[in-house]
Amino acid sequence: MRVEIWSDIACPWCYVGKARFEKALDAFPHRDEVEVVHRSFELDPGRAKGDIQPVITMLTKKYGMSEAQAQAGEENLGTQAAAEGLAYRTRDRDHGNTFDMHRLLHLAKARGRQDELIDLFYKANFAEERTVFGDDERLVELAVAAGLDAADAREVLADPAAYADDVRADEREAAELGANGVPFFVLDRTYGVSGAQPAEVFTQALTQAWGERPQLTLVQDEGAEACGPDGCAVPQNR
């Protein structure tokens, strides 16, 4: 079974939602038969790469809330994150364009290191002091920590077209599926779960999707020749 997760590194609920989903997945009896793929979604796609500002400032301008309301929201997110065992800096974080991070996540997917890199991006953005925005070398360091080659990461960052089509394809697909926010989880292209739901909701969705997977009906002629672990059947005269 495949689970696809549309998310953005700048999305705190994606950070929390991933932890809740993984709690459910770790306890799922068929865990080893579930493939998880991370898909790209930008919350602020029109923001220029060099346009970086404090999270509180972004929240007040984008949503028209006061600084006190924005800070209270951050404090609430910090509490929610802590309940999942996640570190979360409720003050002095910044916000910026995530397109390059999504491109690197596609490189990581090609190298089989996608989950490792997205975890490091989340931790760096939400829990660490050094920014992940506007600093290519910071992104290279995180890519290397996830098991990628530094030269490969620098090559992607130096070429604005590298994996750009993959990011845009993910975003178009999200729109086609009706996802207008993240996190958005799609199980076997049959069930969708929107938002950072409690682990129990993910458990229910995994169980239901697994139980309703298409089952193969085998149509077979017992006399047909085939190859197997013990070799190939030798055709016999009939």
pLDDT profile of the chain (238 residues), mean per 10 = 98 98 98 98 94 97 96 98 98 97 98 98 97 96 98 98 98 95 96 97 97 78 68 62
One-character DSSP codes across 55-121 = HHHHHHHHH---HHHHHHHHHHHHHHHHHTT-----SS-EE---HHHHHHHHHHHHTT-HHHHHHHH
> How many residues make up the chain in this entry?
238
Helix spans in the chain (H): 12-26, 55-63, 67-83, 99-110, 114-127, 136-145, 150-158, 164-176, 199-211
Per the CB < 8 A criterion, the answer to whether 186 and 192 are in contact is yes
Residues 6+ apart with CB under 8 A from 186: 3, 4, 5, 6, 177, 192, 193
Q: Rounded distance, CA 154 to CA 136, Å? A: 8
| pLDDT computed for residue 234 by the predictor | 61
Per the CB < 8 A criterion, the answer to whether 55 and 96 are in contact is no
Phi, psi of 146 (to 5 degrees): -85, -5
| pLDDT computed for residue 233 by the predictor | 63
Q: Rounded distance, CA 145 to CA 126, Å? A: 17
Which amino acid makes up residue 2? R
| pLDDT computed for residue 214 by the predictor | 76
Nearest to 4 by CA among 21, 29, 28: 21
Phi, psi of 231 (to 5 degrees): 115, -170
What's the first-to-final CA gap in the chain, in angstroms?
A: 42
Question: Reduced to 3 states, what is the DSSP secondary structure of residue 204?
Answer: helix
Identify whether 183 is preceded by a cis peptide bond (ω within 30 of 0): yes
| pLDDT computed for residue 158 by the predictor | 98
| pLDDT computed for residue 236 by the predictor | 59
Q: Rounded distance, CA 207 to CA 30, Å? A: 9
